[in-house]
Every structure is written in C-alpha cells, then in structure tokens.
Amino acid sequence: QLAAVPRVTLGTGRQLSVLEVRAYKRWQDVSMRRMEMISDFCERRFLSEVDYLVCVDVDMEFRDHVGVEILTPLFGTLHPGFYGSSREAFTYERRPQSQAYIPKDEGDFYYLGAFFGGSVQEVQRLTRACHQAMMVDQAN
C-alpha cells in the first residue's frame, strides 16, 4: 500500500525510501519473517547505503523526542508492559528445546521487539541469528 505512505518534507540531501515487503495473513508469520527481511535488506542495500538502522513497527507511537543518542552499535528497548517487573513476570520462552529458552532463574530485562537498531553490521548479525534460531525451532 505504497499510496498510504505520507509525504514527508526532508532536509537537503535526505531521502525517504519505501521498501515493499511480502504480505502475510497471520501476524505470527509477519513476526517470524521480519528478522529474515531485515537481514536480507541489510545485505542487499543498507550495508552500502547507511551506517545505522532503526527498526520500528509501523504502529509505534512516539510521545517524546528520540535523538541520535540511541545510535550505538546495538540498542534495544525495554518493554513498557514489563518495565519494573520481576523476572517471574516475564513471558520468556521456557521450553528447554527452544533456541530462545531462558531458564526461570535467569534474565534481568524483557525487551520490546518493535523498536531496536544499531550499526547495520550489528543489526544484520542480530536479525540473522534470530531468524536462524526461529527456523531451527520451526523445524523441531
């Protein structure tokens, strides 16, 4: 739905590129394939075009300024629904056979998957590892 992308006035030398991605009917498939798509776009375009990549879900709402201070090699965002909660409240993967398994006595933070980023190299490394782990879990 490229026509739905709003026109944005950008400064001199800046450009907005809209990249089409495959549509999936189920949100679970969208979530699973997101890491693969980001990793692929890193390799095909972003490594040669930009230094940093910020990945944000389309329905995220920013309520304050977010500046360049977030541009570190790799950053994540604490999930607001679990902020300040004990690890017992976190909905970590608890099945030992999963690649994402976290034992009950481990894990200090619960991150939001809808807002992360960093250098293109680090984002590609992260998203490739996440995608590969999901594929292993799916095969099992």
- Kindly list the domain boundaries of the chain, sorted by start residue: 2-139
78 forms bridges with which residues in the sheet?
111
User: What pLDDT shows up at residue 16?
Assistant: 82
Contacts of 35 (CB under 8 A, 6+ apart): 127, 128, 130, 131, 134
User: What pLDDT shows up at residue 138?
Assistant: 92
CA 97, distance to chain mean position in Å, is 23
Mean pLDDT (the chain, rounded)? 92
User: What pLDDT shows up at residue 8?
Assistant: 84
pLDDT mean over 67-92: 95
User: What pLDDT shows up at residue 57?
Assistant: 87
State the fold for domain 2-139.
Spore Coat Polysaccharide Biosynthesis Protein SpsA; Chain A (3.90.550)
**Residue 15 in this model has a pLDDT that exceeds 90:** no
What's the pLDDT tens digit per position in 16-63? 888 888 888 988 888 889 999 999 999 999 999 999 999 998 888 899
pLDDT mean over 58-73: 92
User: What pLDDT shows up at residue 82?
Assistant: 97
Residue 131 assigned to a binding site: no
Model pTM score: 0.86
User: What pLDDT shows up at residue 29?
Assistant: 85
Query: How many Å apart are CA 59 and CA 43, to the nearest integer?
Result: 25
Residue 91 assigned to a binding site: yes
**Residue 6 in this model has a pLDDT that exceeds 90:** no
Residue 56 assigned to a binding site: no
User: What pLDDT shows up at residue 97?
Assistant: 97
Residue 57 assigned to a binding site: yes
111 forms bridges with which residues in the sheet?
78
User: What pLDDT shows up at residue 14?
Assistant: 87
Residue 40 assigned to a binding site: no
